[in-house]
Amino acid sequence: MIDLNSATLAEIPPRTRRFAYDRSHVRAGIVHLSVGNFHRAHQAWYIDRLLEQAGQESWGIVGVGLLDDANERLKIEAFPAQDDLYTLTRYAPDGTSAHQVIGSLVDYLFAPRDTAAVLDLMSDPSIRIVSMTITEGGYNQDSRTGGYDLSNPVTQAELAAPHAPKSAFGYIVEALRRRRDAGLPPFTVLSCDNLRDNGVVAHTAVLGHARALDVGLADWIEANVTFPSCMVDRITPAVLKPDADRVNEECGVHDRLPVISEDFAQWVIEDRFCQGRPPLEIVGAQLVDDVHPYELAKVRMLNASHSMLAYPGQLAGLESVRDAVEHPLIHKLVHDFMTFDVMPILSAPKGMDLGRYRDTILARFSNPRVGDRLSRITGDGASKLPTFLLPTLATILEKGGETRRLAFCIACFLRYLGGQDDRGEAFDPFEPHLDVTARALGRDPAKALVSLPLFADVEFRSHPALVAQIADDVARIRNTGTLSVLKSLLETLA
């Protein structure tokens, strides 16, 4: 099989669609921090289609890797060898697939090695947007105050040596400083993570970092830089070796890091760009004044349902999202969670039917070929729960309503921290924000709920009955298994 790169493009079989624009004319207008599969399946796919339109060649993307880890090392090798090209395979719920080569990523820099080049690029006026997907937990938020955590050792190091940044915020602030000092206009900062008000969270982080360094710079950023919020949606599974081998076979070209996703995509963006923006509406993105209701619906319905099914599913020994959503008990749990717990307290975006939205989500989870694994969804629960699920619980506690489905999911999360499923099989929970001591608290729910920072937004101290309920669920899950606890829960609630 041929290797993917610019020279072999013409040899790729026609079943794999190739972009029609002349890539040598594409110039960088966007720097994207942290080039994960989601970015490559979502934003880079939108931009790829935009580049097909006449006159849009100034919106190419340069990807920047921030972290020096095993995952990034694969990209350092693969991206240049492939001239930053890659294949995207999209699977529809009816099982059909579409293959294409994406060309919108025009360069890749590895920040720990190419620090000067990254800063030079970000300081260049041709870059009009700096976007990022640094994960829900990547915003360095202080879980107690919601502000930017200046005590983080990485932040401390960056503040002591601002010319040698490490984090997204260190790079953004240093590049903005250079632009201001050179009398150049700034860029828009666009967070593409699944956070409520992601633009506001990014604003808090950038301003928090800048203010600790230079108040004048912070004021300039405040007055000149915009931080639009956006809602992003496309299920993009982790691609393991067998998945990669399969899609390479399907595409007829060897890509070292191919991307897989569902065919559904949505991008709703607040229209506030301080240096102009690509006309993304012509490729299906929605530019709106207020993204908030869309974000809320997506995070509290889709992402929360993902968590709602993934913890019990993994404990029950299931492997994929599809296996879990097609299990009758878990299906009912998730369906009823959306219908009775979330939908009554959500205000839907104008023109959106939440019932239909729920049914589409369930159908997407059942996609027969995407192959999304539960371990991807359960990972980093410490960042996801406070964003996806716990605000719903806090609202129900305030306004009244059923808490037992949420209590059960939290119990499953605490049990999952122990790294053992119902069959006694061990797994390694991916929890980069929880140390060993914190994880061990999974065995002591009463203490975990009142002391782990991730639960800080729920007043568990004032709800002892709920704490007792969760502790009881954890004990019964341990003794009788997850699905038997779920079965009796659903019978009680029927």
Q: Which residues bind ligand CS2 (CB under 6 A)?
A: 194, 233-235, 303, 306, 377, 384
Smallest gap from Cβ 377 to ligand CS2, in A, equals 4
Between CA 207 and CA 218 the distance in angstroms is 6
Nearest to 286 by CA among 226, 355, 228: 228
Beta strands in 384-442 (DSSP E): none
Smallest gap from Cβ 265 to ligand CS2, in A, equals 9
Tokens read off for 149:
């955590």
Distance of CA 121 to the CA centre of its chain: 25
- Helix (H/G/I), strand (E/B), else coil: 129: strand
Do residues 288 and 294 lie in contact, with contact meaning Cβ atoms separated by under 8 Å? Answer: yes
Beta strands in 385-475 (DSSP E): none
* Residue whose CB is less far from ligand CS2, 226 or 392: 392
Smallest gap from Cβ 297 to ligand CS2, in A, equals 12
- Number of residue whose CB is nearest ligand CS2: 306
* Residue whose CB is less far from ligand CS2, 155 or 378: 378
* Residue whose CB is less far from ligand CS2, 238 or 345: 238
Smallest gap from Cβ 309 to ligand CS2, in A, equals 10
Smallest gap from Cβ 367 to ligand CS2, in A, equals 11
* Residue whose CB is less far from ligand CS2, 104 or 303: 303
Smallest gap from Cβ 408 to ligand CS2, in A, equals 18
* Residue whose CB is less far from ligand CS2, 235 or 449: 235
Cα angle: 41, vertex 46, 48; to 5 degrees = 90
Do residues 265 and 232 lie in contact, with contact meaning Cβ atoms separated by under 8 Å? Answer: no
Smallest gap from Cβ 313 to ligand CS2, in A, equals 12
Do residues 39 and 69 lie in contact, with contact meaning Cβ atoms separated by under 8 Å? Answer: no
Smallest gap from Cβ 478 to ligand CS2, in A, equals 25
* Residue whose CB is less far from ligand CS2, 39 or 180: 39
**Could you tell me which residues come within 8 angstroms of residue 463 by beta carbon, excluding any fewer than 6 positions away?**
397
Cα angle: 359, vertex 303, 64; to 5 degrees = 130
* Residue whose CB is less far from ligand CS2, 104 or 307: 307
* Residue whose CB is less far from ligand CS2, 384 or 439: 384
Between CA 460 and CA 16 the distance in angstroms is 53
Q: Which DSSP letter does residue 254 get?
A: B
Tokens read off for 298:
């997506």
3-state SS string for 262-297: ECCCEEEEECCCCCCCCCHHHHCCEEECCCHHHHHH
